[in-house]
Amino acid sequence: MSDAIENLYSEERKFPPPEKFALEANAQVGIHERAAAAPLEFWSEEAKKLHWRTPWKKLLNDSDAPFYKWFEGGRLNVTESCLDRHVVSNPNRIAFHWEGEPGDTSSLTYKELLEEVCRCAGALRQMGVGKGDTVAIYMGMVPEITVAMLACARIGAAHSVVFGGFSAESLRDRLDDASCKAVITQDGSWRRGKVVPLKENVDAALIDQQTVQSVLVLQRCENNVEWNNSRDHWWHEIVPSQSDFLEAEEMDAEDILFILYTSGSTGKPKGIVHTCGGYLTGVSSTFKSVFDIKDSDLYWCTADCGWVTGHSYIVYGPLANGATSLIYEGTPDFPNQGRWWDLISKYAVTILYTAPTAIRTFMKWGEQIPTSRDLSSLRLLGSVGEPINPEAWMWYHEFIGGNRCPIVDTWWQTETGSIMISPLPGITTTKPGSAAIPYPGIDVAVVDEEGQEVPPGHGGLLVIKSPWPSMLRGIHGDPDRYRDVYWSRFDGLYFPGDGCKLDDESYLWLLGRVDDVMLVSGHNISTTEVESALVDHSSVAEAAVVGRKDSTTGQAIAAFVVLKGTIEGCDSLIQELRLHVAAKIGPIAKPASIVFTPDLPKTRSGKIMRRLLRDISEKRKLGDVTTLANSDIVEAIRDGSVKSSED
Ligand code: WT7
């Protein structure tokens, strides 16, 4: 029998938690074992750390699987756990320090944040929004985006945050799908010194749109905007005059907190639904244990609130724990490539949570940029969004973490709501490239095509075996698709769609989407492993690998490589890289072709778009590329204006 995915890459380096870190960590040895022995008990304890108005009657209702319910009968409003209780205990603690791209700054204490949330909630009510409605939020990374989200939660309206980099058309699809009643936006948003015309996009999205009745507009860039008097309201005209306290709407644990659209690589975007009680339990618990948050920490998650990472680990998880966070509005290269590291030293950031795509970009720019800044405040680093190649992990560890900070590589999805697989930084010995082990109370396995668990040392498909509190409750308006996408591959198991291997110590190594797995001469080879072998070479910053049709081998491996700094690609380097992959993971994985390119096509959230590279490699007509962050690179690769070799 052949493995569902081969296990090729082996990584021997290990990093136990530093002794002092381990001694002081929030999560201590024993937590995994306790949770495994009684997972429901564990989640019940975690949920009790939140503020409930009425305790739940039934912890987990699994009578209508996969439509699970958690904390049935429990009543709460998530903003009381995130704001009111901290205002009682520590009103002047800072919730958010914020830095705008042009360099303007502000800070909000928990008291100020609650007051602004109440005023915004009052304005929404005045606009006719109430419990059970859905509000779209289409903004940049200003403090008011967190206010807008929490204001919706305060009055029991679901929010649907649409990333500010999406087009009017994408916004329109999402407004229609969720029947949004209102939109909260800005005149414009700063990006590399230019104005992104958010209000103009909203106007375009609302032409003949049926459900949206009002638009709340924050003034940020003071760019000119069109105005519709019967529909549009300036934030500064209707928010400040509202009362600074508004009683929170009491919600059922299973009422909807938000909808968030996730596109995946194909098909119509799915409106992932999350509810109040279970979601807050998951994000609050994981934030405390994975990020080891302490009162003395200054935490920075570089994600955008348009993605689930921003929802869970900028807004709800940190606020539920009373944390102090940094929010930055702009891009890492404005006004220069040192902006992030300047922010870390200015604010004395202690915990940094970012994505592999950012780390690989910094590798390309060169380590002298971060190493010329003072990063000594950092004590913990996190990664999320894609597999982190072992060499990128090592670079992050050495040049950002000064060889002293544990790294938590956190695997999860929009659908899972909170972190599912991750080291706990005071307990788990980490291995570069592995997300390590499941979070306490989470039950996962790696299985073969038939759903049988694979033994250590083998690759297969990741599954989650038991329900968990922050799981999605479905796809908005499409229960059949929910069942079909996540629950139909294996009976009773949640299938996230990712490949994974188990090493000899049962550590989990995520291998990317199974749609990306290549079939070469009868071997299932994961793109991640070949990419990591390429990134292992000292000249390579980033690599993407796809399988293109081949008459002899079924698929042949086509690689696209971004070199570090000023290194030039040449034929001898192509040969060297092919041999490097062969030596690192085996001749079967040697790329048939290698193309050097200055960049890779990526989604707006930074994931490599392998599907497009496959289209290019097989010389197909390309589909719509406007949703890419960097669509021009596709043209450059296709026109062959970059150095390549074909075998
Ligand atoms: C997919 C989910 C989770 C928040 C951001 C992305 C990939 C995510 C990791 C990781 C390997 C990862 C998976 C997953 N992914 N984190 N640490 N290691 N792969 O959310 O857009 O819903 O994407 O991202 O393929 O299924 P998302």
Q: How far apart are CA 417 and CA 471, in angstroms?
A: 6
Among candidate residues 249, 268, 297, the one where a domain is terminated: 249
Q: How far apart are CA 290 and CA 275, in angstroms?
A: 22
Q: Indicate whether 93 belongs to any domain.
A: no
Among candidate residues 249, 269, 296, the one where a domain is terminated: 249
Q: How far is the CA of 414 from the centre of ligand 1 (A)?
A: 8
What is the number of structural domains in the chain? 2
Q: Report which ligand 1 atom has the smallest distance to the Cα of 528.
A: 11
Q: For residue 106, what pLDDT band results from cuts at 50, 70 and 90?
A: very high
User: Per-residue pLDDT averaged across 386-399, rounded?
Assistant: 97
Q: Is the CB of 496 under 6 A from ligand 1?
A: yes
Q: How far is the CA of 115 from the centre of ligand 1 (A)?
A: 35
Q: Is the CB of 288 under 6 A from ligand 1?
A: no
Q: For residue 192, what pLDDT band results from cuts at 50, 70 and 90?
A: very high
pLDDT of residue 645: 58
Question: Does position 237 have pLDDT exceeding 50, yes or no?
Answer: yes
Q: What residues contact residue 384 under an 8 Å CB cut-off, 6+ apart?
A: 303, 309, 353, 354, 355, 409, 410, 411, 412
Q: For residue 629, what pLDDT band results from cuts at 50, 70 and 90?
A: confident
**Angle, CA of 459, 272 and 481, to the nearest 5°:** 75
pLDDT of residue 619: 83
Q: How far is the CA of 413 from the centre of ligand 1 (A)?
A: 5
Q: For residue 644, what pLDDT band results from cuts at 50, 70 and 90?
A: low
436 against 629, higher pLDDT: 436
Structure tokens at 49: 């750390």
Q: Indicate whether 633 belongs to any domain.
A: yes
Question: Does position 646 have pLDDT exceeding 60, yes or no?
Answer: no
Question: Does position 247 have pLDDT exceeding 80, yes or no?
Answer: yes
Q: Indicate whether 230 belongs to any domain.
A: yes
Instruction: Name the average pLDDT for the chain.
Output: 95
Question: Does position 628 have pLDDT exceeding 80, yes or no?
Answer: no
Among candidate residues 192, 215, 249, the one where a domain is terminated: 249
Q: How far is the CA of 127 from the centre of ligand 1 (A)?
A: 37
Q: Indicate whether 324 belongs to any domain.
A: no
Q: Indicate whether 225 belongs to any domain.
A: yes
Q: For residue 625, what pLDDT band results from cuts at 50, 70 and 90?
A: low
Q: Please tell me whether residue 490 adopts helix, strand or coil conformation.
A: coil
pLDDT of residue 222: 98
Task: For ligand 1, pick from 413, 434, 529, 531 the residue to mutate: most ligand atoms within 8 Å of CB.
Answer: 413
Say which CATH number the domain at 627 has.
3.30.300.30
pLDDT of residue 509: 98
Say which CATH number the domain at 193 has.
3.40.50.980
Q: Indicate whether 402 belongs to any domain.
A: no
The percent of residues above 70 in pLDDT, for the chain, comes to 97
Question: Does position 165 have pLDDT exceeding 90, yes or no?
Answer: yes
Q: Whose CA is nearest to atom 6 of ligand 1?
A: 385
Q: Report which ligand 1 atom has the smallest distance to the Cα of 497.
A: 26
Rounded to whole angstroms, the maximal C-alpha distance in the chain is: 72
Q: Indicate whether 584 belongs to any domain.
A: yes
Question: Does position 642 have pLDDT exceeding 80, yes or no?
Answer: no
pLDDT tens digits, 401-415? 999 999 999 999 999
Q: What residues contact residue 601 under an 8 Å CB cut-off, 6+ apart?
A: 608, 609, 612, 613, 625, 628, 630, 631, 633, 634, 637
Radius of gyration of the chain (CA): 24
Positive or negative, the CA dihedral 215, 216, 222, 228 is positive
pLDDT of residue 647: 45
Q: How far apart are CA 72 and CA 282, in angstroms?
A: 16
The DSSP code for 443 is -
Q: Indicate whether 376 belongs to any domain.
A: no
Q: Please tell me whether residue 289 adopts helix, strand or coil conformation.
A: helix
Question: Does position 481 have pLDDT exceeding 90, yes or no?
Answer: yes
Q: Whose CA is nearest to atom 3 of ligand 1?
A: 413
CA distance to 65, 273, 342, per residue, from 462 (Å)? 20, 22, 39
Q: Is the CB of 309 under 6 A from ligand 1?
A: yes
Q: How far is the CA of 13 from the centre of ligand 1 (A)?
A: 23
Q: Is the CB of 436 under 6 A from ligand 1?
A: no
Residues forming beta bridges with residue 195, ordered by sequence position: 190
Which uninterrupted H or E stretch holds 282? helix 276-290
Q: Is the CB of 274 under 6 A from ligand 1?
A: no
Q: For residue 636, what pLDDT band results from cuts at 50, 70 and 90?
A: confident
pLDDT tens digits, 118-160? 999 999 999 999 999 999 999 999 999 999 999 999 999 999 9
Q: Is the CB of 540 under 6 A from ligand 1?
A: no
Q: How far is the CA of 642 from the centre of ligand 1 (A)?
A: 30
Q: Report which ligand 1 atom has the smallest distance to the Cα of 510.
A: 11
Other CB atoms closer than 10 Å to residue 477's CB: what's the count? 13
pLDDT tens digits, 507-565? 999 999 999 999 999 999 999 999 999 999 999 999 999 999 999 999 999 999 999 99
Cis amide linkage into residue 39, ω under 30° from 0: no
Q: Tell which residue, 82, 99, 83, has the closest CA to residue 91.
A: 83
pLDDT tens digits, 326-360? 999 999 999 999 999 999 999 999 999 999 999 99
The percent of residues above 90 in pLDDT, for the chain, comes to 91
Q: Is the CB of 610 under 6 A from ligand 1?
A: no
Domain extent at residue 173:
110-249
